[in-house]
């Protein structure tokens, strides 16, 4: 008792002030704060250790959990990994695990007497490093006195098990030692195969470091799909070696370009965190910067309406720009771009964009209208469909994804999109019956409903004074409680692949990215992993508060959920 008192006094001193550490006891599955003092009640523990052993701290919550309510001291020096084989990817996964534990011990860590050595053995059925929609992410995690056994179908299930294990090892503020749950078993796998974040890096350029930070958060939360909206009418910020004029005419500057080396490194960085990167090259609309050089090069107008003003005549927001669907050189260039993106990303799905084609743009462009015998809406939709078919034939991937649009409605949907190879990403209202409609037609769908999953909403309008088009701000509870299977018949449930939050960048950049994405993306992550139909956000608030702080600890500037006092006093901030 005397040595503990000395350590507590030494560690609590701040600028000469004595602030005793907070101590807790477990009472009816709740951590109860003890009265502050320099003497600690026998059996009391620090908050993180209490949360782990008493009330629960896992996020996302696994499917099947049986854990002891006790913990033993463990040494994080010399962690022993044995996955049955080794590779640079598996080593990277283990390195992330080791670093995560090291970050937990931010103060002085004392190796407790008789602390057990952490040994992690694994049995992995497949050593394939391919990461795709069908990848089996399941795992079983067994713990017994510091000995850990992981059984997984793939290395990505193994990675998820390591992520869960980091949450079962905590630093105790009172003893300044690391502790691991004494024993237990977790059997786990995700409910949905697609759990994603979409980021627009065309309207604002995001540094590679900021994208890595996003991937760090996704890995810590078991989100597995980064949908990279690479280009738009604002900029073309990617290096294309077969047609460098796209980049030289489309990038904001030479410092705001994603080189092919950087892209390859990000793909590897994502895989180590269980995240596949899906590229999107939006077309035929949302294509301006980068395509404006055709006429001078003798290739005709590759794009039309670029920077047209008044912009409402030709697009939904400035700058305007759409591809010329009748210029064969457009398809030659797309063929080269699609080929390079296929090599860089190794993705099983290619996102073709395909929304918000402005008929007014094409209607005012002689390069388009001279090929048309009439200018009815139906005629323009068929021109759009012609472009879609010709571009689709150039895509290397077996599956494509597209945004909902006028072309994904009857009578054009079945005419231009094959349900066996098309994923429809819905950015409509969550109260609509779109999921029911598309799945009834045989299409797989991803939900990105703007009234829940658009993370840039509720921050005002950048074009005029007042609210933005998708206000209000979507609180994390909205994302957590949204059931994607609403209105979808049981026989079509498998066609609902999952969900994706989106951060569009008209009024967001890397300085505000973290606070707009996190912890709301984490709330969606548990919904997509567990699909908890019998619980709501109120049952999850204590755990997501813990996970929010966990994200901050690894360098992510996640938004606050509630006053810090509420975490220090569990159960006292009663929800209404």
How would DSSP label each residue in 237-292? Answer: -B--SS-THHHHHHSS-TTS-B-HHHHHHHHHHHHTTT-EEEEEE--SBS--TTST
Q: 13 pLDDT exceeds 60?
A: no
Same domain, 326 and 433: yes
- 401-445 pLDDT, tens digit per residue, is 999 999 999 999 999 999 999 999 999 999 999 999 999 999 999
Structure tokens given for 374: 């009439």
Same domain, 475 and 434: yes
Separation of alpha carbons 27 and 538, rounded Å: 20
| Mean of pLDDT values over 508-528 | 98
Final residue before a domain boundary, out of 164, 188, 212: 188
Same domain, 151 and 226: no
Residues in Cβ contact with 283 at an 8 Å cutoff, skipping those fewer than 6 apart: 323, 334, 352, 353, 354, 387, 391
Q: From edge to edge, which strands make up the β-sheet containing 178-181?
A: 64-67, 183-188, 139-144, 147-152, 116-124, 71-82, 178-181, 169-171
Which residues are known catalytic residues? 356
Separation of alpha carbons 437 and 63, rounded Å: 30
Same domain, 252 and 305: yes
At 78 the pLDDT is 87
| Mean of pLDDT values over 14-22 | 74
Separation of alpha carbons 535 and 89, rounded Å: 36
Separation of alpha carbons 247 and 235, rounded Å: 9
Separation of alpha carbons 186 and 308, rounded Å: 58
- 295-345 pLDDT, tens digit per residue, is 999 999 999 999 999 999 999 999 999 999 999 999 999 999 999 999 999
The radius of gyration computed from the CA coordinates of the chain, to the nearest angstrom, equals 26
Domain with 71 in it: what CATH number?
3.30.379.10
Same domain, 184 and 199: no
| Residue 105: pLDDT band with limits 50, 70, 90 | confident
In a domain, 280, yes or no: yes
Structure tokens given for 271: 């895989």
Structure tokens given for 570: 């569990």
Same domain, 309 and 236: yes
Separation of alpha carbons 123 and 121, rounded Å: 7
In a domain, 402, yes or no: yes
| Residue 1: pLDDT band with limits 50, 70, 90 | very low
Residues in the chain, total = 576
Same domain, 71 and 103: yes
- 337-355 pLDDT, tens digit per residue, is 999 999 999 999 999 999 9
Structure tokens given for 12: 């609590």
- What percent of the chain is helix, strand and coil (3-state, nearest 5)? 35, 20, 45
Same domain, 212 and 359: yes
Domain with 213 in it: what CATH number?
3.20.20.80
- Helices 88-104/155-166 angle, 10° precision: 10
Distances (CA, A) of 130 to 64, 154, 163, 240, 274: 27, 10, 19, 24, 11
**Model pTM?**
0.95
- Cβ neighbourhood burial of 422 (10 Å; 0-12, 13-18, 19+): buried
**Higher per-residue pLDDT: 38 or 549:** 549
In a domain, 387, yes or no: yes
Q: What is the dihedral of CA 231, 262, 342, 394, to 10 degrees?
A: 30
In a domain, 572, yes or no: no
Separation of alpha carbons 482 and 452, rounded Å: 8
At 42 the pLDDT is 84
Residues in Cβ contact with 489 at an 8 Å cutoff, skipping those fewer than 6 apart: 436, 439, 440
CA angle, 138 then 139 then 140, to 5°: 145
At 106 the pLDDT is 66
Spatial contact of 127 and 156, defined as CB atoms under 8 Å apart: no
Residues in Cβ contact with 74 at an 8 Å cutoff, skipping those fewer than 6 apart: 115, 116, 117, 118, 146, 169, 178, 179, 180
Main-chain dihedrals φ then ψ at residue 531, nearest 5 degrees: 50, 60
SS3 assignment for 278-315: EEEECCCECCCCCCCCCCCCCCCCCEECCCCCCHHHCC
At 8 the pLDDT is 47
In a domain, 556, yes or no: no
Spatial contact of 559 and 518, defined as CB atoms under 8 Å apart: yes
Within 30-135, strands assigned E span 30-33, 64-67, 71-82, 116-124
Separation of alpha carbons 405 and 358, rounded Å: 11
Same domain, 119 and 227: no
Structure tokens given for 53: 């052993």
In terms of Cα–Cα distance, which of 406, 449, 396, 441 is closest to 423? 441
Q: 219 pLDDT exceeds 90?
A: yes
Spatial contact of 196 and 224, defined as CB atoms under 8 Å apart: yes
- 250-278 pLDDT, tens digit per residue, is 999 999 999 999 999 999 999 999 999 99
The total number of structural domains in the chain stands at 2
Final residue before a domain boundary, out of 149, 165, 188: 188
Same domain, 453 and 482: yes
Q: Which domain holds residue 318?
A: 194-534
**Higher per-residue pLDDT: 141 or 7:** 141
Final residue before a domain boundary, out of 188, 208, 240: 188
**Higher per-residue pLDDT: 135 or 534:** 135
Same domain, 384 and 487: yes
Q: 12 pLDDT exceeds 90?
A: no
Separation of alpha carbons 103 and 533, rounded Å: 34
Q: 492 pLDDT exceeds 70?
A: yes
In a domain, 225, yes or no: yes
Spatial contact of 469 and 460, defined as CB atoms under 8 Å apart: no
Structure tokens given for 331: 């398809």
Structure tokens given for 65: 């959990």
Distance of alpha carbon 214 from the chain centroid: 7
Same domain, 235 and 318: yes
Structure tokens given for 510: 């890397």
In a domain, 24, yes or no: no
In a domain, 43, yes or no: no
CA angle, 378 then 381 then 384, to 5°: 155
Residues in Cβ contact with 293 at an 8 Å cutoff, skipping those fewer than 6 apart: 245, 249, 302
In terms of Cα–Cα distance, which of 149, 79, 171 is closest to 117? 79
């Amino acid at each position: 008792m005397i040595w503990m008192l000395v350590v507590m006094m030494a560690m609590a001193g701040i600028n000469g002030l004595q602030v005793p550490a907070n101590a807790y006891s477990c009472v009816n599955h709740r951590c109860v704060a003890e009265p502050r003092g320099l003497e600690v009640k026998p059996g009391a523990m620090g908050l993180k250790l209490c949360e782990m052993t008493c009330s629960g701290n896992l996020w996302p919550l696994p499917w099947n959990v049986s854990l002891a309510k006790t913990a033993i001291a463990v040494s994080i020096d010399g962690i022993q990994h044995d996955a049955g084989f080794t590779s640079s990817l598996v080593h990277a996964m283990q390195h992330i695990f080791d670093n995560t534990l090291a970050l937990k011990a931010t103060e002085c860590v004392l190796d407790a007497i008789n602390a057990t050595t952490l040994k992690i053995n694994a049995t992995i059925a497949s050593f394939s490093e391919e990461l795709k929609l069908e990848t089996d992410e399941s795992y079983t995690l067994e713990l017994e006195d510091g000995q850990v056994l992981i059984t997984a179908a793939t290395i990505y299930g193994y990675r998820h098990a390591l992520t869960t294990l980091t949450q079962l090892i905590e630093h105790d503020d009172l003893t300044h030692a690391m502790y691991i749950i004494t024993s237990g078993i977790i059997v786990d796998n995700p409910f949905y195969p697609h759990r994603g974040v979409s980021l627009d890096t065309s309207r604002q350029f995001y540094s590679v470091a900021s994208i890595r930070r996003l991937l760090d958060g996704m890995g810590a939360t078991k989100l597995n799909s980064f949908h990279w909206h690479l280009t738009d009418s604002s900029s073309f910020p990617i290096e294309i070696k077969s047609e460098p004029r796209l980049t030289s005419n489309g990038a904001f500057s030479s410092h705001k370009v994603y080189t092919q080396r950087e892209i390859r490194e990000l793909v590897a960085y994502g895989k180590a965190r269980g995240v596949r990167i899906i590229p999107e090259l939006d077309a035929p609309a949302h294509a301006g910067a980068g395509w404006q050089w055709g006429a001078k090069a003798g290739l005709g107008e590759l794009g039309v309406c670029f920077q047209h003003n008044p912009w409402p005549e030709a697009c939904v927001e400035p700058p305007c720009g759409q591809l010329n669907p009748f210029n064969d050189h457009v398809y030659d260039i797309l063929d080269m771009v699609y080929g390079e993106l296929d090599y860089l990303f190794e993705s099983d799905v290619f996102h073709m964009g395909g929304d918000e084609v402005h008929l007014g743009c094409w209607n005012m462009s002689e390069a388009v209208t001279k090929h048309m015998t009439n200018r009815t809406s139906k005629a323009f939709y068929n021109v759009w469909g012609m472009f879609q078919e010709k571009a689709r034939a150039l895509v290397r991937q077996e599956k494509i994804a597209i945004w909902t649009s006028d072309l994904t409605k009857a009578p054009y949907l079945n005419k231009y999109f094959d349900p066996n190879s098309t994923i429809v990403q819905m950015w409509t209202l969550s109260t609509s019956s779109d999921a029911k409609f598309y799945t009834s037609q045989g299409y797989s769908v991803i939900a990105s409903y703007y009234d829940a999953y658009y993370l840039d909403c509720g921050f005002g309008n950048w074009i005029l004074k007042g609210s933005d088009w998708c206000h209000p701000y979507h609180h994390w509870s909205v994302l957590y409680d949204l059931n994607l299977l609403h209105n979808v018949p049981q026989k079509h449930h498998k066609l609902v692949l999952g969900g994706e939050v989106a951060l569009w960048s008209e009024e967001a950049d890397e300085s505000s990215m973290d606070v707009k994405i996190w912890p709301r993306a984490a709330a969606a992550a548990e919904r997509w992993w567990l699909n908890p139909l019998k619980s709501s956000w109120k049952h999850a608030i204590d755990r997501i508060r813990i996970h929010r702080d966990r994200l901050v600890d690894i360098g992510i500037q996640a938004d606050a959920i509630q006053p810090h006092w509420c975490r220090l006093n569990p159960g006292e901030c009663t929800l209404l």
